[in-house]
Amino acid sequence: MKKPAHHVFVCASFRLTGEPQGACAKKGAARLLQYLEGELSDRGLGDVAVSSTGCLKVCDRGPALVVYPENWWYGRVESEAAIDAIIDSIESGVPAAEYLLA
Ligand code: FES
């Protein structure tokens, strides 16, 4: 098994008690996840894995995602332009400051 160089965890608002109904899901996280997967593929970034995950506990700043191993936490990822900037950050090694959570 080839391990990914980067792993993006996208909040899908999963909760232990049922359906994903949290902030990120309501703000279109699933659509952005699809766009992220497609854009990574288009750019040939096969070493970037993507997983949907449970609530990252930054709901008020969602949609949220985390990039590892960089440990970059991003919030307000509400557009394809935001996803593009985050993928750019993975490629360049420089975080997308506009979306970084403190
Ligand atoms: S639902 Fe996404 S951070 Fe809580």
Residue 1 lies in a domain: no
Residue 74 lies in a domain: yes
What's the CA gap between 29 and 10, in Å, rounded? 8
Compute, in angstroms, the gap from residue 1 CA to the centroid of ligand 1. 30
Compute, in angstroms, the gap from residue 32 CA to the centroid of ligand 1. 14
Residue 83 lies in a domain: yes
Q: What is the CATH number of the domain that holds 93?
A: 3.40.30.10
Regarding the beta carbon of 64 and ligand 1, being less than 6 Å apart is answered: yes
In which domain, by residue range, is 27 found? 6-99
Q: Which of 13, 15, 61 to mutate to test the pocket of ligand 1 (most atoms within 8 A of CB)?
A: 13
Question: pTM for the whole thing?
Answer: 0.91
Per-residue model confidence as pLDDT tens digits over 9-65: 999 887 666 655 678 988 888 899 999 999 999 999 999 999 999 899 999 999 999
| Counted domains in the chain | 1
What's the CA gap between 62 and 47, in Å, rounded? 25
What's the CA gap between 87 and 96, in Å, rounded? 9
